[in-house]
Structure formats: structure tokens, C-alpha cells
């Protein structure tokens, strides 16, 4: 009579025989990774049943809460620097235009940059958040070339989406005239956006490329790239604007965007060649090439909620700016200062959130629930520290920071008074940002998208409007009180969902997303069918 252990061992041997056959007929390593990933899950679970061992061992030695916090902070430092430099690129271009061009051209550039951020940059970054989920999960489950496949799919999918944006930018004058009463500004805005179309592929590839590397815990790549490109951007924009006038600024930015992509790929190939083990050989055969343009639906199901999350927040800030026009010129200027200050300091918690998202997704892909839970505990500890630190930073330095944007003392004083609300908002915004990152790592962006719409457009903006124009007449301060309450609701909602996470379901969804495609490969590959039928 065969024992249970012998039966399980025999079934593993039979599975291994089929696995060996499958590997022998695939020259590319994608199929190998795909099957070996699911195979390792089976082996681990069955081995645990036989031996009674626990496979939830830390992958990087971060066993304690303190060690996990240090690991997150160490990894997030280079990303924070990269985000700050990348955010500052367009601001520096506006400063240069303001000094070298006319006031009308500065106004045109400001509106063009705002349009670019809403319809371009945030669109790319929002859609690319899908890679924050699938790439680390694939890497954690040891499906290495699947990371490269997701990078290629994400890049292709986003470029298709951005082709519509390119058309909108090219003919922007036709619809901008409906929104902007100053007709003299529109030709310059359209010219700026038309030049920026040339940088769309570079923008997409850099956004997806850095996520390809971050999934492998290579966080310093974008920092090295921007450390080189950021000063060159200032040189390009300054030089081109002096020689070509207004159009020099977008030409300089587009040049920098392409330089960023080139240096990033050189870094991956020359300095960190180990990252190429995750590359997917899409040129190896027509089958490999076609795979890049199939199975977009699971990626889109993650990308669209990520886009909604980012755009909802982005547009709500722009809505506050539009509402502030009812309070006079000084209020508009103060709102501009506060909004830019808010965006600047947001880069730090957002960068830390990228690391958190990667670590959670990595552990989900590996099936290491305890490790993922430890990362979440560390995230909430860091949220307290980062939130209070950002609060104190804004509270004590808001005046000097405001003077970087304007010399008008009335504007500085108004911004100073409202900045204390912004400072308090930082405390729970850290929990909101880290909570959104954890949900991305779990593959639950849909919850974030729904709650962002509720918090910003059902609660925040209506409440802010009432506080600004209602009996209290708080004006600009009322708008930011409403914004803060919306952020607090998000922080509480995200925390509730994370606390009640169904980890088995999360891992099942991850495996389902991966294994469905493996099954399709095996069903549609004639060579695999022939080989298996001969067994």
C-alpha cells in the first residue's frame, strides 16, 4: 500500500517530467520562467505538507520591524531625490522663460505645462502604476522574464493611449479657445504642446523602464540618470531659449527626456547587466513578438484605477486653483504657491510609497504573507514619522519657501496663513499615500480609484466650497480645510481595507493572473501539445 508521502513524491516526479519536456522545447526563457514559477509554488506547498516546514522566511533578512523600516528608508532615498529632480525640471523651465521671455509667453508656458501635466504626465504615471503591481509580483514568484514582458506590454499599451493625447495636443487650439478667454495665448500654448509630442515615447519608456528596474530592487538607477540629466536640462533650456526664444524651453525638455531614456538603458545594460535576466526576448520569434500585444486586459484592469487615483487628486488641486479666482489676484497667487509647495513635498512620501508598493507586491508574488504584513507594519510606523516631519517642515519653513515663488509680501502672508492647514494635512496624507501604495502592491487599485473619487468629488470639493463661500466665509483656507478632510477620509478608508485584507484571496488573484496566461501558452503552442501528447 502506497503511503501519502510516496504518493505525493510520485506526483511531483510526474510533474517534473512534464516540466522538463516543456523546458526542452522552449528556446526562450519566458515559458521556462512562467511554468517554473507555478511549479515552485506547488513544490513549496507540498514540501511544507511533507516536512511541516514554514517557507515564509525573509528574502532579504529584514526580519524585525526596525530592520524593515531601515530597509524601506534606505531604498527610498535615491527615489526621493529622483522624484524631486524630475518634478523640478518643468519648474526650472518656467523660471527661465520668466526671465528671458515676455509675460505673455510666461503665461502661455504656464498653461501649457499645466495641460501637459494633466493630460500627459499624470496619464502616463497613472497607467504605469499597473507595473507597480505586476512586475514585482512576477519577480517575487521567480517568473523573471515575465517582468520584461510586462514592461514591454505596459509601454506598448500606454503609447497607444498616448497617441490620442498626441492628437489632442496637436489640435489643442480648437478646444483651448473654449476654456481660455485670452486668445493671444492659445497659439503659443499649442506650439509648446506640439513640440512636447516628440517626447511622449521617451516619457513612457522612462516611466516604465524605471519600474522594470525597481521591481528588481534597483532603486538608484533613476537617481543616477537624473543627477546627470537635471543640470543638463537647465543648460539645454537656458541655451535653447536664448537662441530660439520661447520654443527653446520645450525643445530642451524633450531633449532631456530622450537623454534620460538612453542613459537608463545604458545603465541597465552596462552597469547592472544582472537586470537583463528579466528581459523578454520579444524579437526571438513571431510568437514572442505577438505576446507583447496580447493579454492587455489584466494590465488595463490594474492601470485604469491607478489612472483614476492619480487624476482625481491632480484635477482636484487644479479645481481649487480655479475656485480661488473668485477671491482676487492675491488669493490666486497664494493658491499657486501652496499648490506648488504641496506638490514638491509630496514627492518624498510618494517615493517611499513606491518602495513599499514594490516590497508588498514582491512578497505577494512569493506567497510570503508574514513578510508582506511586516512591510505594512513598518509602513505605518514610517507614515507617523514622515507625516510629522513634513508637518514641521511646512510649519516652520513655509515663509522662506513661499518667497522662492514671489516677492509680494501680501501673497507671502496669505500663503503663510493657509500653509498651516497644509502642514496638518501632511500627517494623514502620509497614511493616505502609503495606504494607496500598499493597495497597489496587493493589486487592489480599484478600491483606491473608487475612494479617491468619493473623497475628492463627493466630500472634499463640495465641503471646501461651502466652507469658502458659506456662513463661515473662510475663502482660500476653507478650500484647503475641505481638501484635508477628504485626505483624512482616504487615510481611514485605506487603513480599514488593509487591516481587513484577505491575504489568501490576494495571492489567489496574483496566481490566477499569472497562471491563466501559462495555460494559454500551453494550449496554443503546437510544439508543447505535440510533446505532451507523446508522453
pLDDT number for residue 108: 86
Q: What is the pLDDT of residue 63?
A: 66
Label residue 86 by pLDDT band (50, 70, 90): confident
Q: How does residue 512 score in pLDDT terms, banded at 50, 70 and 90? A: confident
Span between the terminal Cα atoms of the chain, in Å: 26
pLDDT digits (tens, 9 = 90+) for 163-190: 999 999 999 999 988 887 778 889 999 9
- Tell me the H-state helices in 25-64: 29-51
Helix 329-366 × helix 65-100 angle, to 10°: 140
Alpha helices in 267-328 (DSSP H): 286-291, 296-323
For residues 212-219, average pLDDT:
94
Determine the pLDDT at residue 344. Answer: 86
- pLDDT tens readout for residues 424-482: 999 999 999 999 999 999 999 999 999 999 999 999 999 999 999 999 999 999 999 99
107 vs 44, higher pLDDT: 107
Residue 116: closest CA among 257, 214, 222, 299 = 257
pLDDT at residue 80, rounded to an integer? 92
pLDDT in tens, 119-135: 999 999 999 999 999 99
Higher pLDDT, 258 or 20: 258
Describe the crossing of helices 144-170 and 29-51 by its angle, rounded to 10 degrees.
Answer: 130
Backbone phi and psi for residue 345, each to the nearest 5 degrees, phi listed first: -75, -20
The contacts of residue 385 (CB under 8 Å, 6+ apart) are none
Average the pLDDT over 382-401 and give the result.
95
Look over the chain and give the mean of its residue pLDDT values, rounded to a whole number: 85
Count CB neighbours of 449 within 10 A.
Answer: 22
Residue 261 has a CB neighbour count (10 Å cut-off) of: 20
Q: Which three cell numbers stand for residue 362?
A: 514582491
Taking the C-alpha atoms of residue 62 and residue 376, their distance in angstroms, rounded to an integer, is: 13
Predicted TM-score (pTM) of this structure: 0.84
What is the pLDDT confidence band of residue 92, given thresholds at 50, 70 and 90? confident
Residues 6+ apart with CB under 8 A from 22: 31, 32, 35, 522, 528, 531, 532
Interatomic CA distance for residues 356 and 214, integer angstroms: 11
pLDDT of residue 511: 87
Amino acid at each position: 500500500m502506497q503511503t501519502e508521502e510516496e504518493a505525493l513524491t510520485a506526483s511531483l516526479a510526474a510533474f517534473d517530467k512534464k516540466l522538463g519536456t516543456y523546458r526542452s522545447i522552449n528556446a526562450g526563457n519566458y515559458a521556462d520562467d512562467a511554468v517554473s514559477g507555478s511549479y515552485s509554488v506547488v513544490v513549496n506547498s507540498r514540501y511544507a505538507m511533507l516536512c511541516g516546514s514554514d517557507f515564509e522566511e525573509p528574502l532579504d533578512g529584514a526580519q524585525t520591524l526596525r530592520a524593515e523600516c531601515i530597509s524601506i528608508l534606505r531604498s527610498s532615498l535615491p527615489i526621493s531625490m529622483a522624484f524631486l529632480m524630475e518634478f523640478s525640471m518643468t519648474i526650472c523651465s518656467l523660471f527661465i522663460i520668466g526671465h528671458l521671455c515676455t509675460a505673455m509667453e510666461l503665461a502661455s508656458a504656464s498653461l501649457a505645462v499645466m495641460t501637459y501635466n494633466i493630460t500627459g504626465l499624470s496619464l502616463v504615471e497613472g497607467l504605469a502604476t499597473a507595473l507597480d503591481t505586476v512586475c514585482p509580483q512576477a519577480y517575487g514568484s521567480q517568473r523573471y522574464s515575465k517582468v520584461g514582458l510586462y514592461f514591454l506590454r505596459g509601454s506598448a499599451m500606454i503609447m497607444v493611449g498616448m497617441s490620442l493625447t498626441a492628437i489632442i495636443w496637436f489640435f489643442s487650439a480648437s478646444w483651448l479657445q473654449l476654456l481660455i478667454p485670452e486668445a493671444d495665448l492659445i497659439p503659443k500654448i499649442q506650439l509648446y504642446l506640439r513640440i512636447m509630442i516628440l517626447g511622449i515615447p521617451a516619457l513612457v519608456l522612462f516611466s516604465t523602464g524605471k519600474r522594470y528596474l525597481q521591481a528588481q530592487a534597483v532603486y538608484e538607477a533613476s537617481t543616477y540618470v537624473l543627477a546627470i540629466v537635471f543640470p543638463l536640462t537647465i543648460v539645454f533650456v537656458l541655451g535653447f531659449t536664448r537662441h530660439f526664444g520661447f520654443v527653446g524651453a520645450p525643445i530642451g525638455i524633450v531633449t532631456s527626456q530622450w537623454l534620460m531614456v538612453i542613459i537608463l538603458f545604458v545603465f541597465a545594460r552596462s552597469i547592472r547587466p544582472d537586470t537583463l535576466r528579466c528581459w523578454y526576448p520579444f524579437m526571438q520569434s513571431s510568437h514572442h513578438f505577438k505576446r507583447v500585444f496580447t493579454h492587455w486586459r489584466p494590465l488595463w484592469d490594474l492601470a485604469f484605477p491607478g489612472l483614476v487615483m492619480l487624476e482625481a487628486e491632480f484635477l482636484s488641486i487644479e479645481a481649487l486653483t480655479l475656485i480661488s479666482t473668485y477671491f482676487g489676484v492675491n488669493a490666486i497667487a497664494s493658491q499657486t504657491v501652496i499648490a506648488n509647495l504641496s506638490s514638491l513635498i509630496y514627492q518624498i512620501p510618494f517615493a517611499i510609497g513606491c518602495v513599499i508598493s514594490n516590497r508588498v507586491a514582491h512578497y505577494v508574488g512569493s506567497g510570503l504573507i508574514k513578510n508582506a504584513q511586516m512591510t505594512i507594519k513598518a509602513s505605518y510606523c514610517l507614515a507617523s514619522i514622515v507625516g510629522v516631519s513634513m508637518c514641521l517642515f511646512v510649519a516652520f519653513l513655509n515663509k522662506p519657501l513661499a518667497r522662492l515663488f514671489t516677492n509680494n509680501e501680501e501673497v507671502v502672508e496669505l500663503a503663510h496663513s493657509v500653509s498651516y492647514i497644509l502642514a496638518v494635512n501632511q500627517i494623514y496624507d502620509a497614511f493616505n499615500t502609503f495606504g494607496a501604495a500598499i493597495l497597489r502592491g496587493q493589486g487592489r487599485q480599484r478600491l483606491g480609484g473608487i475612494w479617491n473619487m468619493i473623497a475628492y468629488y463627493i466630500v472634499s470639493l463640495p465641503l471646501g466650497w461651502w466652507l469658502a463661500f458659506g456662513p463661515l466665509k473662510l475663502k482660500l483656507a476653507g478650500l484647503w480645510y475641505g481638501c484635508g478632510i477628504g485626505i483624512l477620509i482616504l487615510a481611514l478608508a485605506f487603513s480599514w481595507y488593509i487591516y481587513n485584507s484577505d491575504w489568501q484571496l490576494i495571492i489567489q488573484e496574483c496566481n490566477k493572473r499569472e497562471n491563466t496566461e501559462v495555460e494559454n501558452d500551453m494550449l496554443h503552442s503546437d510544439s508543447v501539445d505535440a510533446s505532451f501528447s507523446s508522453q
